[in-house]
A = this chain, B = another copy of it.
Amino acid sequence: MIRVLIADDEDMIRTALASLLRLEEDLEIVAECRSGTEAVDAALRVDPDVCLLDLEMPGLDGVEVAERLHGRIRARCIVVTRHARPGVLRRALRAGVEGFVPKSRRAEEVADIIRRVAAGRRYVDPEIAADALSDERSPLTARELDVLRAGRRGETIAQIAAALHLSPGTVRNHVSSALGKLAVSSRQQATVVAQERGWI
């Protein structure tokens, strides 16, 4: 019996998937979560075999959840996303994710992907994988991405600095460096292009 955690903030898709997966005799849904933080808590508590994580969630997104779980529990993570881009895939793989599925796949395939990942294999959507090979990687360093991510809702430099436990000056240096690489001139523009390319 494969024990599965599902996290998606959209009730309709989450409950629909859960109902379908419950019909499978070898799968058991042990947790349904509607946010990233909820998913982390639940995963640490119930210790599932597989986590099916939506990427777009309030608070922590799917990849961030996988990062936090990676190494702490044995669960293997599958990230599901609406906008599948090569950059997101890379970020997910770096976070130790074992499965990557765009929502343009059919729901029927999800059960098989869960079984596959539970069996220790990986699953990466073939189309996205092909794109990822041919596509340019983010020129931004980890810290530069952190800073943009922490400021993506218009937070001030001071707030970003506090959130990342950095000095404001350091934050501005990272920002400035990122702006140069992206050839833009404001943080807001930088977050827009970074999001479009799936780097955040």
Contact = CB atoms under 8 A, between A and B. Distances in A.
B154 A11 contact: no
A173 interface: no
Contacts of A191: 154
Chain multiplicity (copies): 2
A186 B155 CA distance: 8
Interface stretch (A14-22, A63-71, A115-123, A128-136): A14-22
B11 A13 contact: no
Contacts of A10: 82, 103-104
Nearest to A153: B192
A167 interface: no
B192 A154 contact: yes
A97 to B, nearest CB: 18
Interface stretch (A40-48, A105-113, A138-146): A105-113
B20 A104 contact: no
A108 B153 contact: no
A1 interface: no
B104 A12 contact: yes
Interface of A: 10-13, 15-17, 19-20, 80, 82, 103-108, 110, 153-156, 184-192
